[in-house]
Amino acid sequence: MLRFALTIVAFIASGSSALAAVGPFVSLGNTNFIVLLAFLLFVGVLFYFGVPGLLAGLLDKRADGIKSELDEAKAIHEEAKELYASFERKTREVKGHANRIVEHARHEAQLAAEQAKVDLEESIARRIAAAEDQIVSAQNSAVKEVRDTAIAVAIAAAGDAIAGSMKDADQQKLLDEAIASVGARLH
């Protein structure tokens, strides 16, 4: 600082305005010399009360405040980067999980469709088998009914033919033999 003050004094002393003054420079009548003395006195008072130190302290304090704000901003920036990275990671995890859920649902739907197809085929096969059984049963029933009807008609026709050609005593004898035959078979 002292060097700075001496530089200012030398600059002022060597200035062209000092050479323009009338009379000797170091004189109380020279206004330039009075201004120089006032300036030097002002600078001396500033140094005596430690104003440059105060200014330097204020500037250092302000610089420290700015540095702490910058450090805090850097910390917040780093925290934001970490949060962003965490968010990106979680987003990727959620997307992967969602894709796995969709793939699982597709697979389950495909399995359900295949099972439904198998169940439908089995149901159709059971219905066809039941229908075939009903057809066979109906055929057997119809054949039996036709046989029973044919037998009844044949018996009736034979009974009429025999009744017309037999005598009453022969009919009674045949009836008794049939009753005995049926009774022997039942016991």
pLDDT recorded at residue 119: 94
pLDDT recorded at residue 22: 60
pLDDT recorded at residue 18: 47
3-state secondary structure the chain: CHHHHHHHHHHHHCCHHHHHCCCCCCCCCCHHHHHHHHHHHHHHHHHHCCHHHHHHHHHHHHHHHHHHHHHHHHHHHHHHHHHHHHHHHHHHHHHHHHHHHHHHHHHHHHHHHHHHHHHHHHHHHHHHHHHHHHHHHHHHHHHHHHHHHHHHHHHHHHHHHHHHHCCHHHHHHHHHHHHHHHHHHHC
pLDDT recorded at residue 66: 96
Spans of the chain below 70 pLDDT: 1-23, 162-163, 166-167, 187
Q: Model's pTM, two decimal places?
A: 0.39
Instruction: Give the pLDDT confidence of 49-96 residue by residue, as tens digits.
Output: 989 889 999 999 999 999 999 999 999 999 999 999 999 999 999 999
pLDDT recorded at residue 69: 95
